[in-house]
Structure 1
């Protein structure tokens, strides 16, 4: 039996896989598989993602695989789910995470179209949902502050802005789910990359500010001038723990109503439009949003809330791109140069390429991903397995580059 050396492991907490010590974000998107205009279960058609993707993929924990494009893919109860690797929460992280997700969508979509040509059929990815994940840092933890309380507070702050940035006329909910040491905001899939980036930036920037508040009581909403719907009733999330805002949560259906009409009664007695509510909600978080994204993204958010840029709720129907995702992929080259790959991204791309890593005179080759933060390697000569985390690998790569 081969010995596994667990390097850089914490002895506290009893975690199977180490969480990263720094704040991170990550995005996921779910898609229905449509073949010849009929929805199919990917498990039935392919069995495993490896039968969809031509190149051999690095296995991950469970039934997922590391895509050659950097993210992960797995089949989850009838949908194809793609996810980004974790991205360090730092300036530009929302741009990086959104770009990463669209790289995965484009790659999987291309592989699906090639498969369809071989099978002489038509196949496409139909948008289903997008999940925005961010870690809850222990530095904010206290008896009054934990991930569950933070999620409950965010469920009162995020709905109006996220509806305008991410929803369409057929959307049904915006949700928040506490997931241990992280939180997940769930919304409809957004086929517009710029709006997805804006959604990611708003969520991440808002969470950064709110998580640093003295407590997570609802009294913080009035203290920070956050408008509140009346009535407002959170519903239980459809999966796992958490909360959703649906049409039953409010006086009328927000996804089919006029976003410019002042029809929403607030607890302070005013009646505002959905756009005006989102605009007021934005104000305490503008600086934080700009930090995690950039000025261009903040201006786009402001334009959507002010009515100077289109929300998908401005259109009478759901966009056609929703029904055939991943066909087009186009990014601003200037912004790509301004926000290059993060340290974690560079490590992941080297890992999936299975390029050997030299550590203390020994050559190691990646064997599998352990969760999102750790990688299992096999020593080329002895076969000994060792587990290294992304920070350790990033330092090794940086040191090697400095010696050149």
Structure 2
């Protein structure tokens, strides 16, 4: 039996901060733009995101901007993409990340409502994809080859439960991409905050637990008696390096199947339903999932996987909420809105008020975000530029937060 999973203690996290970046998670969501029900490229309609956001935004790398509610917005290969700020890995981080992503979606939708009124055109956002990013904690540095092995194994491990929590009848795949210092899971957009937070909880918990394994291979999964569908083999990811559990990687399309029918043969000869396979995979990771979420989201993961709550794959067709994301957001669980902000969220919201920070006797004005971990400032008197990490800013602004 596996030892109970524990997140790093406060003292170990402080040591990690001195040694390197704190492990974090972050979410991204992509939307296809429709104007008067015609699919359009956002860069052709707006030019940049600043053209439809009424408040002045803090610039980021390239043509992306820091949203006034803390995340980022940019146009990426024909879609509108919104992203959360980075969220430190700790108890409740999966809830914070999911909540924050939906706050970005809500803000962007409100700005598009105002653009609609001014231009007398209807704008619709169709949910396209969600990316779940989990950084590799300090002390578990992996080579590019080893991280690729982890990503490939996770493609076997994650696709059944992620399908149940995040997919719909028209979905085509679940992917895992190694991204240098992090792992990124790609799936369809999920138009339900509770399901997205449950998915974030499961993915984050499982990845963190698996990174502690001494070996990352299908053989290791077999040794741990984790179910594997017979005839499944991942393919190359459609973008960047990585792997995909596409519908054609299986003996038949799992997204179109009855998820409750016990007609999937496993490599050990047993026959199980997709729901049973997903639950059996997830049960050994209970404590790892519990460590990064809250009671309600943890319960929701297992309610869906056990059949006590509906998966979107239980519906005969893809729900209509995909077609017009953000207009109606159902916050069904009160704790999602009341959980305190993470330190990084507090720092970023502080920066977005454009208030200067004091370092010794000097005042610095925020100028732009540098990636996800740092912010560029200008000395109020000399104009000299200086960059601070979010951890440094947390120390300088702690008294004001």
Say yes or no: TM over 0.5. yes
Equivalenced residues, count: 384
1:264 offset after TM fit, Å? 0.9
Q: Deviations over 1:279-334 (max 9, x none)?
A: 10011110010110122212111111111100000001111111111113354675
User: Which whole-Å CA distance do the structure 1 matches of 2:29 and 2:245 have between them?
Assistant: 19
Alignment-derived partner of residue 174 in structure 1: 174
Alignment-derived partner of residue 9 in structure 1: none
Q: Which aligned pairs between 1:251-400 and structure 2 lie closer than 5 A?
A: 251-331=251-331, 334-336=334-336, 339-400=339-400
- Could you state the TM-score of these two structures normalised by the residue count of structure 2? 0.93
Q: Deviations over 1:319-366 (max 9, x none)?
A: 111111111335467515752001000010011111111111111110
1:400 offset after TM fit, Å? 4.9
User: Which whole-Å CA distance do the structure 1 matches of 2:34 and 2:364 have between them?
Assistant: 41
Q: Deviations over 1:123-153 (max 9, x none)?
A: 1111000000010124123579832221111
Alignment-derived partner of residue 53 in structure 2: 53
Q: Which aligned pairs between 1:54-93 and structure 2 lie closer than 5 A?
A: 54-93=54-93
SS in 1 for 2:217: coil
User: Which whole-Å CA distance do the structure 1 matches of 2:298 and 2:400 have between them?
Assistant: 37
Mean alpha-carbon deviation: is it higher for 41-50 or for 139-148?
139-148
Matched, 1:31 2:35: no
Q: Deviations over 1:164-187 (max 9, x none)?
A: 000001111100001111110000
User: Which whole-Å CA distance do the structure 1 matches of 2:114 and 2:334 have between them?
Assistant: 31
User: Is the 1:27–1:98 contact (alpha carbons within 8 Å) kept by the matching residues of 2?
Assistant: yes
- Could you state the TM-score of these two structures normalised by the residue count of structure 1? 0.92
User: Which whole-Å CA distance do the structure 1 matches of 2:363 and 2:188 have between them?
Assistant: 44
User: Which whole-Å CA distance do the structure 2 matches of 1:337 and 1:125 have between them?
Assistant: 24
SS in 1 for 2:376: strand
For the structure 1 residues 270 and 371, does the alpha-carbon distance in structure 2 shift closer, same or farther, using more than 3 Å as the test? same
User: Which whole-Å CA distance do the structure 1 matches of 2:145 and 2:243 have between them?
Assistant: 18
Structure 2 residue ranges without an equivalent (≥5): 1-17
1:223 offset after TM fit, Å? 2.5
CA RMSD of aligned residues (A): 1.7
User: Which whole-Å CA distance do the structure 1 matches of 2:268 and 2:106 have between them?
Assistant: 46
User: Which whole-Å CA distance do the structure 1 matches of 2:251 and 2:224 have between them?
Assistant: 24
Q: Deviations over 1:366-403 (max 9, x none)?
A: 000000000000011110110000001111122456xx
User: Which whole-Å CA distance do the structure 1 matches of 2:182 and 2:129 have between them?
Assistant: 18
Alignment-derived partner of residue 189 in structure 1: 189
User: Is the 2:74–2:80 contact (alpha carbons within 8 Å) kept by the matching residues of 1?
Assistant: yes
User: Is the 1:144–1:216 contact (alpha carbons within 8 Å) kept by the matching residues of 2?
Assistant: no
User: Is the 2:49–2:74 contact (alpha carbons within 8 Å) kept by the matching residues of 1?
Assistant: yes
SS in 2 for 1:139: coil
Alignment-derived partner of residue 12 in structure 2: none
User: Which whole-Å CA distance do the structure 2 matches of 1:102 and 1:37 have between them?
Assistant: 23
User: Which whole-Å CA distance do the structure 2 matches of 1:308 and 1:68 have between them?
Assistant: 38
User: Is the 2:23–2:138 contact (alpha carbons within 8 Å) kept by the matching residues of 1?
Assistant: no
User: Which whole-Å CA distance do the structure 1 matches of 2:308 and 2:44 have between them?
Assistant: 45
User: Is the 2:235–2:244 contact (alpha carbons within 8 Å) kept by the matching residues of 1?
Assistant: yes
SS in 1 for 2:291: helix
Mean alpha-carbon deviation: is it higher for 337-346 or for 380-389?
337-346
For the structure 1 residues 389 and 310, does the alpha-carbon distance in structure 2 shift closer, same or farther, using more than 3 Å as the test? same
SS in 2 for 1:128: strand
SS in 2 for 1:187: strand
Structure 1 residue ranges without an equivalent (≥5): 1-17
